[in-house]
């Protein structure tokens, strides 16, 4: 058990819809990272938050947004969903930047 909690584990929805993925980092970890894993693109970094502030953006679409709350949990919002958004979305956390990132079990998103 990595200590990182992601909900829900599975999500099935339709094109055009909006979903919210939730992540609770390990106790004491201030950094939260979101990654997307798809068959086409592999594992790609989306966005990072540190103690509530956005720190870095990767290959994140404009239809996607995220935030980190004062209790350090984070949410990834995906809107106007397309078939190509079907993927496994991971959240990871670390205490400081030079510490290993520990991953949650992921949310598997399926767009029908």
Contacting positions for another protein (CB under 8 A):
2, 30-31, 33, 35, 42-45, 48, 50-51, 55-56, 58, 88, 90, 92, 94, 96-98, 100-106, 108
- In the complex with another protein, the residue whose CB is nearer, 48 or 74, is 48
Q: Of 16 and 97, which CB lies nearer to another protein in the complex structure?
A: 97
Q: How far is the CB of 53 from another protein (least distance, A)?
A: 8
Q: How far is the CB of 21 from another protein (least distance, A)?
A: 15
**Contact (Cβ atoms closer than 8 angstroms) between residue 72 and residue 29:** yes
Beta-strand runs (E) in the chain: 5-7, 10-13, 19-24, 31-38, 42-50, 53-57, 64-68, 74-78, 87-94, 102-103, 107-111
Least distance between another protein and beta carbon 80 (Å): 25
3-state secondary structure of 49: strand
CB 93 within 8 A of CB 100: no
Taking the complex as a whole, the smallest distance from the CB of residue 4 to another protein amounts, in Å, to: 10
């Amino acid at each position: 058990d990595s200590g990182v909690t992601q909900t829900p584990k599975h999500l099935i929805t339709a094109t055009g819809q909006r979903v919210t993925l939730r992540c609770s980092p390990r106790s004491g970890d201030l950094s939260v990272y979101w990654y997307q894993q798809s068959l086409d693109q592999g594992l790609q970094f989306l966005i990072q938050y540190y103690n509530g502030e956005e720190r870095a953006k990767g290959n994140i679409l404009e239809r996607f947004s995220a935030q980190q709350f004062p209790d350090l949990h984070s949410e990834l919002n995906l809107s106007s969903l397309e078939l190509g958004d079907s993927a496994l979305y991971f959240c990871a956390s670390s205490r400081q930047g030079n510490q290993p990132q520990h991953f949650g079990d992921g949310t598997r998103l399926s767009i029908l």
